[in-house]
Amino acid sequence: MKQTQIHNEQPPRRYGMAIDVDKCTGCGSCMVACFSENNVPFKQDETDKLLSITWMRVYQLTNGKTFPHTEVAYLPRPCQHCAGQHEGHSPCVSVCPATATDYSADTGIVSQIYTRCFGCRYCMGACPYHARYFNWWDPVWPDGMEKYLSPNVSPRMRGVVEKCSFCFHRYQMARDKAYTEGGRKVQEAEYQTACAQACPAGAIVFGDLNDPSHAVNQIVKPDAHNHYKSGNPRAFRLLERLGTNTKVYYLSSREWVRRSGDNYRADEQPGMPGAAAQHG
Amino acid sequence: MSSHDKYQSHGDSHSSAKAPDEGAYIFLFFLIGFALSMVVGWGVFPTLLYSKKHQPFDFNHKQHLQIVDNGCQSCHFFRTDGSFSGSPRLAQCVGCHNEMQGQSESEKAFFEQYVVQGREVPWLVYSRQPDCVFFSHAAHIHGAKLDCVTCHGHMAASENLKSYEQNRITGYSRDLWGRNISGLKHNSWDRMKMDDCAECHARYQVVHDSSVQTGRDACFVCHK
């Protein structure tokens, strides 16, 4: 595994999320917070959701049963920041012909450099989570709204792909502060994504999966020797069997919710350990 | 004899008589063409490529550094959140400039157009990077303990603000790609392209192999 040499801290950071589906009320605050934090463009007419850009998107799941047994769950979906079977083998990073998307072995974050992207959209085809979006038009902000854009996030232009960055600019700013205070480590509370902070139900927990003092590590209990599989029986990842080794973990006590994370056969257990070994 | 024949024979005699010189002419034309293209490529094009702009008024670093209390930090300082203040705002000037300090033209312009009207000065920033670039002064000043000269040259000793040259195609400042069109770099502050950042990062044995794609810094070190 590649390890970066920053201050020779071992192991490197691995930012990730634990989203409690049982707590999520589907209110959509995370989506709104994400839009405004990341200068995500929107159009006057957003009825065609295939053309909408939603870095964070809340999906509705149902157990498919009739009343009175119907149950509904909401599943917020940011970019999953896949590490793949060996660190950095994310589906999108491996197909990008322009090196516009990259995997950082230091933070585990998949980056997208908009000025480098030429819009071939291979990455969108490769992404199993529909987490990537194409800008079909230049963004048009309502009059005066340019003044409210965040200077810390570079706005996109027509013809490029964009996606959730785990609010990486907040990490950059937290690093600045840490440097000013003697080059210490960035603390858990200093780097939080906008969606995690906006969630009124506290369903989203964000932090370093490799740091035992971070809440996300305690919830997920990832097994570094087995593709960061969670040791929490409530946890599952989306399409885990593809071997994408994602950093967004979902939690639910309801089995039908856990099963909806992948296309399991009737006799299969959700999140079978080691099932990814056949890949890559 | 038809006029046509006459013309032809004339033409023949002409070409046979001048034949030995033709090669020299061709060479001469080649030389002229070559020289012209060099002049255009090295002289005219770069001049046309950049438009010159002037700062709102001139400013004298050397003079001010003799009177301020706190060196560079009187005007360029770190905020408590670790961000860098960059170009000064009026607040850093009005402590002294609440009334005219001298008689110079530039101070008059500053005083009348900005201080009196309470307007911020629209400084042109020579080192301004493209919007997609993230640069951290904290990392370089507090972390790497570099001095300002390494990247900005001898600003402290300057008595004038140079004119700002803007690339007409990209809109970026000339200081990013530098003045030397042969691409040679004599001083560490001559230019500040992506490769110049990366070159220095590689020299220091920190932050330089986190990218899975390039084996250098991850793009998200310097980009946002």
Contacts of A267 (CB under 8 A, 6+ apart): none
Domain ranges of chain A: 2-202
Chain-chain contact of A104 with B212 (C-beta, under 8 angstroms): yes
pLDDT tens figures, A47-97: 998 899 999 999 999 999 999 999 999 999 999 999 998 888 999 999 999
Buried b (16+ CB within 10 A) or exposed e, B158-176: eeebeebbbeeeeeebbbb
Chain-chain contact of B224 with A4 (C-beta, under 8 angstroms): no
Q: Are A80 and A248 in contact (CB under 8 A)?
A: yes
Low-confidence ranges of chain B (pLDDT < 50): 1-3, 5-6, 8-13, 15-16
Is the bond preceding B56 in cis, omega lying within 30 degrees of 0? Answer: no
Chain-chain contact of A172 with B209 (C-beta, under 8 angstroms): no
User: Is there a domain that residue B185 lies in?
Assistant: no
Residue B80, number of CB atoms within 10 A of its CB: 8
Show residues of chain B in contact with A88, CB under 8 Å. 212
Cα(B219)–Cα(A88) distance, integer angstroms: 13
The H or E element spanning position A219 is: helix A215-220
Q: Which residues of B touch A (CB under 8 A)?
A: 78, 80-83, 130-132, 134, 136, 138-139, 142-143, 205-214, 218-221, 223-224
User: Is there a domain that residue B155 lies in?
Assistant: no
User: Is there a domain that residue B40 lies in?
Assistant: yes
Is the bond preceding A68 in cis, omega lying within 30 degrees of 0? Answer: yes
Q: Edge-to-edge strand order for the sheet containing A15-20?
A: A204-208, A15-20, A248-251, A235-236
Cα(B114)–Cα(B21) distance, integer angstroms: 69
Q: What is the pLDDT of residue A255?
A: 92
Q: Are B167 and B49 in contact (CB under 8 A)?
A: yes
Mean predicted lDDT score pLDDT of chain A: 91
Q: Tally the domains of chain B.
A: 1
Cα(A146)–Cα(B7) distance, integer angstroms: 74
Whether ipTM tops 0.85, in short, is yes
Show residues of chain B in contact with A106, CB under 8 Å. 207, 210, 218
Cα(A208)–Cα(A206) distance, integer angstroms: 7
Chain-chain contact of A4 with B207 (C-beta, under 8 angstroms): yes
Q: For residue A161, report the phi and psi dihedrals to the nearest 5 degrees.
A: -100, 145
Residue B58 CA to its chain's centroid (Å): 18
User: Is there a domain that residue B42 lies in?
Assistant: yes
Closest Cα to residue B192, out of B165, B210, B174?
B174
Q: What is the pLDDT of residue A100?
A: 96
* pTM, entire model: 0.91
Per-residue pLDDT of chain A (280 residues; tens, 9 = 90+): 333 444 445 578 999 999 999 999 999 999 999 999 999 999 989 999 889 999 999 999 999 999 999 999 999 999 999 999 888 899 999 999 999 999 999 999 999 999 999 999 999 999 999 999 999 999 999 999 999 999 999 999 999 999 999 999 999 999 999 999 988 899 999 999 999 999 999 999 999 999 999 999 999 999 989 899 999 999 999 998 899 999 999 999 999 999 999 888 888 777 654 444 444 3
User: Is there a domain that residue B96 lies in?
Assistant: no
Cα(B83)–Cα(A175) distance, integer angstroms: 10
Buried b (16+ CB within 10 A) or exposed e, A131-148: bbbbbeeebeeeeeeeee
Searching chain A, which residue's CA lies closest to the CA of residue B205?
A5
Across the interface, which of B207, B211, B224 has its CB nearest the CB of A6?
A: B207
Searching chain B, which residue's CA lies closest to the CA of residue A96?
B213
Q: What is the pLDDT of residue B216?
A: 84
Across the interface, which of B143, B206, B224 has its CB nearest the CB of A169?
A: B224
Residue range(s) defining the domain that contains residue B25: 3-51
Q: What is the pLDDT of residue B11?
A: 44
User: Is there a domain that residue B219 lies in?
Assistant: no
Searching chain A, which residue's CA lies closest to the CA of residue B133?
A154
Across the interface, which of B206, B207, B223 has its CB nearest the CB of A113?
A: B223
Q: What is the pLDDT of residue A34?
A: 97
CATH 3.30.70.20 fits A2-202, yes or no: yes
